[in-house]
């Protein structure tokens, strides 16, 4: 038998529905007796009596995804939990089936392709010189000169060389840093007029000027506007995420083309003007995920409801269209097949939840894990034994009451056997 610690690759192994009863039985029989696992299993009583394999994994500090009736192990995410997978893997190894090598990466590329995005293979990125690598890394921290950029272009043969760590071109590095500087500058404008506040504003303005200069310098050498990071983000994607229409206009003037990723970034920035600009002539890019991306934005953003209304009433987004992939945000994860209502419930956005319900959002819809909107705002959509990964916002009680008034079921059970009532009780424990 292979060493478990080297064998397990969470996220690439599937436990088929027909094998789950045996897998659960093996875990319940073996884990409490295991010298290491027993010390970390914080709720052995519930572990022993649960009838849900997904819940057993939760109690072992590991999440899983769902594909039809099958469970997929997802990567251990760290935090305060201890990764016990190297130990309990022995109990389920014969019941876990390895996915076709590369299938998950292939699926990601297919998703990008369907969205009109071409993504290069990492293997196609050749290593550059140390000088070029250092140059891209330093762009975040200093003003670059055209002469030094030209010297590197002559050495590397193109302005589109990539650093050896993140695979970013000078254009992508400049756009990412400029996006960050725009955000910092906006935050600084909220500072008071004290000495510290004025200093923060001055520092942010100086940083913004540096990054604007760097972007202009790179653009003078006509870089590839379609170049993308390993996660599929291009220059226009960084620009739309900044919320700056001027930044977007600048890249469009240099030949950037509008794609689904850029439109998604504009939605996430909650800039209705930018979405309106990009959507003109590109209605085919309006996909089912856009509304969920708007609804999962932080509720404190004043333009959130305006964006949701625009997407529904002007762009025709379906209030019940499920998201095609998991969305990870600071307030938590929106699982595959989640609806806009679930995303709004996660953020405890009372106004958006009210609007979606009035627009006939399905109160009983479930995501791939079996969570309803009430699961999303009653606690976490899973329970961490080391404490919550999600925290209620100010309007949480009102959102819960509103969902219940519209018929939300406190007894609805997800694939881990957890109800909204369970989640609500666990966060109060």
Those residues whose C-beta lies under 8 Å from the C-beta of residue 12, and which sit 6 or more positions away, are 73, 98, 99, 104
Tokens of 258: 């509008």
Q: What are phi and psi of 35, to 5 degrees?
A: -55, -40
Measured CA to CA in angstroms, residue 142 lies from 147, 160, 203, 382 at distances of 15, 20, 13, 43
- Its CATH class, for the domain covering 124-285, is mainly alpha
* Stretch 92-109: mean pLDDT: 60
Distance (Å, rounded) from C-alpha 86 to C-alpha 4? 5
Cβ atoms of 322 and 367 within 8 Å: the answer is yes
- pLDDT for 116 beyond 50: no
14-51 per-position pLDDT tens digit: 999 999 999 999 999 999 999 899 988 878 999 999 99
- pLDDT for 238 beyond 50: yes
pTM equals: 0.81
Distance (Å, rounded) from C-alpha 210 to C-alpha 43? 54
Q: What is the pLDDT of residue 221?
A: 97
- pLDDT for 103 beyond 60: no
Closest CA to 368 of 408, 415, 331, 409: 415
Measured CA to CA in angstroms, residue 143 lies from 139, 187, 209, 212 at distances of 7, 22, 9, 9
242-295 per-position pLDDT tens digit: 999 999 999 999 999 999 989 999 999 999 999 999 998 898 888 889 999 999
Cβ atoms of 215 and 252 within 8 Å: the answer is no
Q: What percent of the chain has pLDDT over 90?
A: 59
Q: What are phi and psi of 329, to 5 degrees?
A: -130, 170
346-367 per-position pLDDT tens digit: 999 999 999 999 999 999 999 9
- What is the Cα 305 distance to its own chain's centre? 21
Say if strands 332-334 and 97-98 run parallel, antiparallel, or are unpaired.
unpaired
* Stretch 53-76: mean pLDDT: 84
- pLDDT for 224 beyond 70: yes
DSSP class of residue 323?
P
166-197 per-position pLDDT tens digit: 889 999 999 999 999 999 999 999 888 898 98
Q: Where does CATH 1.25.40.20 sit in the chain?
A: 124-285
Q: Which residue has the tokens 């309006």?
A: 286
3-state secondary structure of 98: strand
More confident position, 136 or 121 = 136
């Amino acid at each position: 038998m292979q060493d478990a610690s080297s064998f397990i690759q969470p996220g690439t192994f599937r436990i088929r529905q027909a094998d789950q009863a045996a897998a659960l039985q093996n875990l319940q029989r073996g884990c409490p007796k295991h010298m290491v696992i027993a010390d970390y299993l914080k709720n052995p009583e519930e572990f022993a009596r649960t009838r849900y394999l997904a819940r057993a994994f939760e109690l072992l500090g590991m999440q899983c995804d769902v594909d039809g009736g099958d469970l997929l192990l997802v990567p251990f995410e760290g935090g305060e939990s201890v990764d016990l997978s190297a130990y309990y893997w022995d109990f389920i190894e014969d019941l876990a089936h390895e996915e076709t090598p590369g299938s998950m990466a292939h699926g990601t590329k297919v998703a990008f392709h369907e969205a009109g995005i071409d993504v290069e293979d990492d293997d196609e990125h050749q290593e550059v010189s140390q000088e070029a690598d250092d140059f891209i890394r330093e762009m975040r921290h200093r003003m670059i000169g055209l002469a030094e950029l030209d010297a590197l272009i002559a050495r590397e043969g193109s302005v589109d060389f990539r650093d050896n760590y993140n695979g970013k071109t000078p254009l992508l590095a400049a756009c990412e840093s400029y996006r960050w500087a725009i955000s910092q500058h906006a935050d600084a404008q909220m500072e008071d007029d004290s000495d510290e506040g004025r200093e923060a504003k001055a520092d942010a303005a100086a940083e913004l000027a540096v990054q604007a200069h760097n972007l202009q310098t790179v653009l003078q050498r006509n870089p590839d506007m379609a170049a993308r990071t390993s996660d599929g983000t291009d220059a226009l994607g960084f620009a739309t995420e900044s919320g700056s229409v001027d930044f977007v206009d600048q890249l469009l003037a240099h030949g950037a083309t509008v794609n689904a990723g850029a439109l998604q970034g504009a939605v996430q920035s909650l800039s209705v003007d930018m979405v309106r600009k990009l959507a003109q002539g590109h209605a085919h890019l309006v996909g089912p995920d856009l509304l969920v991306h708007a609804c999962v934005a932080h509720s404190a953003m004043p333009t959130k409801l305006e964006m949701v209304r625009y997407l529904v009433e002007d762009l025709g987004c379906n209030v019940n269209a499920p998201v095609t992939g998991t969305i990870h945000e600071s307030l938590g994860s929106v699982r595959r097949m989640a609806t806009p209502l679930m995303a709004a419930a996660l953020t405890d956005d009372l106004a958006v939840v009210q609007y979606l319900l009035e627009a006939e959002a399905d109160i009983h819809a479930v995501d791939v894990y079996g969570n309803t909107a009430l699961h999303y705002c009653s606690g976490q959509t899973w329970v961490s034994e080391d404490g919550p990964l999600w925290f209620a916002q100010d309007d949480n009680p009102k959102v819960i009451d509103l969902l219940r008034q519209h018929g939300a079921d406190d007894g609805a059970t997800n694939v881990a056997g957890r109800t909204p009532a369970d989640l609500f009780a666990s966060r109060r424990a």
